[in-house]
Protein backbone atom coordinates (compact mmCIF):
# COMPACT_ATOMS: atom_id res chain seq x y z
CA UNK A 1 0.00 0.00 0.00
CA UNK A 2 1.39 3.41 -0.97
CA UNK A 3 1.81 6.03 1.71
CA UNK A 4 0.36 9.53 1.46
CA UNK A 5 3.85 10.96 1.01
CA UNK A 6 4.44 9.01 -2.23
CA UNK A 7 2.91 11.81 -4.29
CA UNK A 8 4.19 14.77 -2.32
CA UNK A 9 5.93 17.45 -4.33
CA UNK A 10 8.62 19.57 -2.75
CA UNK A 11 8.35 23.37 -2.84
CA UNK A 12 11.05 25.79 -1.74
CA UNK A 13 9.68 29.16 -0.65
CA UNK A 14 12.05 32.12 -0.25
CA UNK A 15 10.11 35.05 1.16
CA UNK A 16 11.50 38.58 1.34
CA UNK A 17 9.31 40.11 4.05
CA UNK A 18 10.61 43.65 3.47
CA UNK A 19 9.72 43.63 -0.23
CA UNK A 20 6.67 41.33 0.03
CA UNK A 21 8.20 39.17 -2.70
CA UNK A 22 8.34 35.41 -3.01
CA UNK A 23 10.59 33.14 -5.01
CA UNK A 24 9.27 29.60 -5.24
CA UNK A 25 10.75 26.52 -6.82
CA UNK A 26 9.11 23.15 -7.37
CA UNK A 27 11.22 20.00 -7.19
CA UNK A 28 8.58 17.38 -7.84
CA UNK A 29 9.28 14.36 -5.67
CA UNK A 30 13.06 14.92 -5.63
CA UNK A 31 13.60 15.38 -1.90
CA UNK A 32 17.39 15.35 -2.25
CA UNK A 33 17.42 18.22 -4.77
CA UNK A 34 14.90 20.17 -2.69
CA UNK A 35 16.94 19.70 0.49
CA UNK A 36 20.14 20.72 -1.29
CA UNK A 37 18.47 23.88 -2.63
CA UNK A 38 17.06 24.63 0.84
CA UNK A 39 20.53 24.37 2.40
CA UNK A 40 22.01 26.58 -0.33
CA UNK A 41 19.32 29.23 0.26
CA UNK A 42 19.92 29.13 4.03
CA UNK A 43 23.63 29.73 3.41
CA UNK A 44 23.01 32.46 0.83
CA UNK A 45 20.57 34.41 3.01
CA UNK A 46 22.01 33.63 6.46
CA UNK A 47 22.83 37.29 7.16
CA UNK A 48 19.52 38.68 5.88
CA UNK A 49 16.94 38.33 8.68
CA UNK A 50 14.12 39.62 6.46
CA UNK A 51 14.42 36.46 4.36
CA UNK A 52 12.31 33.49 5.37
CA UNK A 53 13.20 30.15 3.77
CA UNK A 54 10.81 27.21 3.97
CA UNK A 55 10.74 23.77 2.36
CA UNK A 56 7.19 22.41 2.09
CA UNK A 57 5.83 19.08 0.92
CA UNK A 58 2.36 19.17 -0.66
CA UNK A 59 0.35 17.69 -3.49
CA UNK A 60 0.25 20.98 -5.44
CA UNK A 61 1.25 24.64 -5.42
CA UNK A 62 -2.42 25.49 -4.92
CA UNK A 63 -2.36 23.56 -1.63
CA UNK A 64 0.79 25.42 -0.55
CA UNK A 65 -0.95 28.72 -1.32
CA UNK A 66 -3.69 27.71 1.14
CA UNK A 67 -1.55 26.15 3.87
CA UNK A 68 1.23 28.76 3.68
CA UNK A 69 -0.71 31.75 2.37
CA UNK A 70 1.25 34.28 4.43
CA UNK A 71 4.31 33.71 2.26
CA UNK A 72 2.61 34.77 -0.96
CA UNK A 73 2.67 38.41 -2.13
CA UNK A 74 -0.11 40.59 -0.81
CA UNK A 75 -0.77 38.43 2.27
CA UNK A 76 0.17 41.14 4.74
CA UNK A 77 -2.08 43.66 3.01
CA UNK A 78 -4.96 41.16 2.97
CA UNK A 79 -4.53 40.52 6.70
CA UNK A 80 -4.41 44.24 7.51
CA UNK A 81 -7.53 44.80 5.40
CA UNK A 82 -9.33 42.04 7.32
CA UNK A 83 -8.28 43.53 10.66
CA UNK A 84 -9.52 46.95 9.58
CA UNK A 85 -12.80 45.44 8.42
CA UNK A 86 -13.36 43.72 11.77
CA UNK A 87 -12.40 46.82 13.74
CA UNK A 88 -15.16 48.83 12.06
CA UNK A 89 -17.90 46.35 13.06
pLDDT value at residue 1: 43
Contact 67, 58 (CB under 8 A): yes
Helix (DSSP H) and strand (DSSP E) numbers for the chain: 3, 3
Q: Smallest Cα–Cα separation from 18: which of 73, 56, 69, 61?
A: 73
Distance CA 29, CA 31 (A): 6
The model carries a pTM of 0.76
pLDDT value at residue 85: 79
Distance CA 17, CA 52 (A): 7
Give the pLDDT means over successive 10-residue stretches in the chain (89 positions): 68 93 95 98 98 96 89 73 74
Contacts of 69 (CB under 8 A, 6+ apart): 75
Expressed as residue numbers, the domain containing 74 is: 4-87
Amino acid sequence: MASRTDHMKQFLLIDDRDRDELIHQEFGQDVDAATTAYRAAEIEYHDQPQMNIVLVGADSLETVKVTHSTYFPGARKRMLDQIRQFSTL
